[in-house]
């Protein structure tokens, strides 16, 4: 699936200078259908989006409630590492998912931050090249809006943006829980999801059962249905990938997060660079 024979989802929008919401919605509906097809074992085994070597993503929690020791860095330093190191930084003018769904909860003008040599191949009609300071400002804007970065190699983005896969395209997607394509990950079986989407090493999330009021908001906002109610209390399963949105929406402040690993930045960077060439 590369540009030699299959155009990116955004290419059709070039006829109009900018894709229309209905066009993007049709594209997202098509992707949803594909993710349902991935439940077929033969398809999962061979499709490039589902292979660990082609998709290797990390959630970066942005919650102010994060507990950590003084020697433990802030999570978004993983993103800042790549902003500093990357040869090219490109910001998308809009989030296609939020624009398609006419999102009312989060700003549609906070698009993905794409980095690496192949970022220059993204259609310029929908993106702009930025320097390091502009990239950091875009990251901060997303964090301030409550949008957790989702960083790594995402093979699906080569398809969406019509960029051949040379392992030189790094994605930083700022996903909302109501519109964005990451919601489709819940349709992927457990083993495949665990292999391609990761929490930060040392990130712990637990529910204070005494404080929990059983309102279910955390479960409503979990993009992979890792949170459920058991006897009127929230329960977080091993499916949790560490986006920590549940912390932000809990009205009782019953969900606690802690980062115990001072080496998590190096570990995450090493893992991502095993999939994306940044040299």
User: Which residue ranges make up each domain of the chain?
Assistant: 21-31+48-199+262-275, 203-259
Low-confidence ranges of the chain (pLDDT < 70): 1-53
Looking at domain 203-259, which of 3.40.1480.10, 3.40.190.10, 3.40.50.11540, 3.30.70.20 is its CATH number? 3.30.70.20
CB 130 within 8 A of CB 138: yes
Tokens representing 95? Answer: 């989030």
pLDDT of residue 27: 64
Predicted local confidence at residue 140, as pLDDT: 95
- 116-138 residue pLDDT tens: 999 999 988 889 999 999 999 99
Asked whether 88 and 169 are in contact (CB, 8 A), the reply is no
Token pair of 137 as six digits? 């400002």
Predicted local confidence at residue 1, as pLDDT: 38
Q: What is the pLDDT of residue 77?
A: 95
Q: What is the pLDDT of residues 201-251, one digit of tens each?
A: 999 999 999 999 999 999 998 988 899 999 999 999 988 999 998 998 999
Q: How many CB atoms lie within 10 A of CB 28?
A: 21
């Amino acid at each position: 699936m590369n540009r030699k024979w299959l155009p990116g989802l955004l290419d059709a929008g070039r006829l109009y200078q900018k894709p229309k919401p209905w066009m993007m919605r049709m594209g997202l509906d098509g992707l949803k259908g594909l993710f349902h097809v991935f439940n077929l074992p033969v398809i999962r085994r061979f499709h490039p989006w589902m292979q660990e070597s082609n998709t290797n993503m990390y959630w970066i929690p942005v919650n102010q409630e994060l507990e950590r020791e003084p020697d433990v860095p802030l999570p978004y330093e993983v993103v800042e590492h790549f902003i500093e190191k990357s040869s090219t930084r490109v910001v998308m003018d809009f989030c296609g998912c939020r624009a398609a769904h006419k999102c009312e909860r989060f700003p549609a003008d906070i698009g993905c931050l794409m980095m690496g040599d192949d970022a220059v191949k993204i259609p310029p009609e929908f993106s702009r090249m930025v320097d390091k300071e502009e990239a950091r400002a875009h990251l901060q804007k997303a964090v301030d809006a409550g949008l957790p970065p989702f960083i790594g190699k995402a093979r699906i983005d080569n398809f969406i943006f019509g960029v051949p896969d040379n392992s030189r395209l790094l994605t930083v997607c700022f996903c909302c829980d109501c519109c964005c394509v990451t919601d489709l990950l819940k349709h992927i079986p457990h083993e495949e999801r665990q292999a391609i989407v990761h929490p930060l090493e040392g990130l712990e999330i637990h529910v204070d059962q005494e404080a929990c009021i059983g309102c279910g908001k955390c479960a409503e906002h979990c993009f992979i249905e890792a949170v459920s109610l058991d006897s009127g209390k929230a329960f977080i399963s091993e499916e949790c990938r560490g986006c920590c949105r549940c912390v932000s929406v809990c009205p009782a402040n019953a969900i606690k997060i802690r980062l115990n690993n001072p080496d998590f930045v190096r570990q995450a960077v090493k893992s991502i660079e095993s999939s994306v060439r940044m040299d």
